[in-house]
Amino acid sequence: MEVRGAPALAIADAVRAGKLRARDVIEQFLDRVARLDGALGCYLLVDGNGARKRADAIDAAVKGGRDPGPLAGVPLGIKDIFCTKGIETTCASKILRRFVPPYESTVTARLGAAGAVTLGKLNMDEFAMGSSTENSAVKPTRNPWSPAHVPGGSSGGSAAAVAASLCAGATGTDTGGSIRQPASLCGIVGMKPTYGRVSRYGVVAFASSLDHPGPFGRTVEDAAALLEVMAGVDPLDATSIPAPVGAYRQAARAGREGLKGVRLGLPAEYFQPGLDPEVEAAVRAAIDELAKAGATVVPVSLPHTKYAIATYYLICTAEASSNLARYDGVKYGHRAADPRSLEEMYTRTRGEGFGDEPKRRIMLGAYVLRAGYYEAYYGKALRARRKIADDFAAAFTTCDAIVTPTSPVPAFKFGERASDPLQMYLADILTVAPNLAGVPAISQPCGFTKAGLPIGLQTIGPALGEEICFRVAGAFESRTDWHKQTPPEAVS
Identify whether 154 is a catalytic site residue: yes
Report the amino acid identity of residue 57. Answer: A
**Do the Cβ atoms of 186 and 297 come closer than 8 Å?**
no
Identify whether 79 is a catalytic site residue: yes
Q: What residues contact 453, with CB distance under 8 A and at least 6 apart? A: 143, 145, 146, 149, 185, 410, 411
Residue in 79, 121, 240, 443 annotated catalytic: 79
Which of these, 79, 140, 219, 139, lies nearest to 412 by C-alpha position? 140
Residue in 132, 178, 240, 321 annotated catalytic: 178
Residue in 93, 132, 136, 154 annotated catalytic: 154
| Residues forming the active site | 79, 154, 178
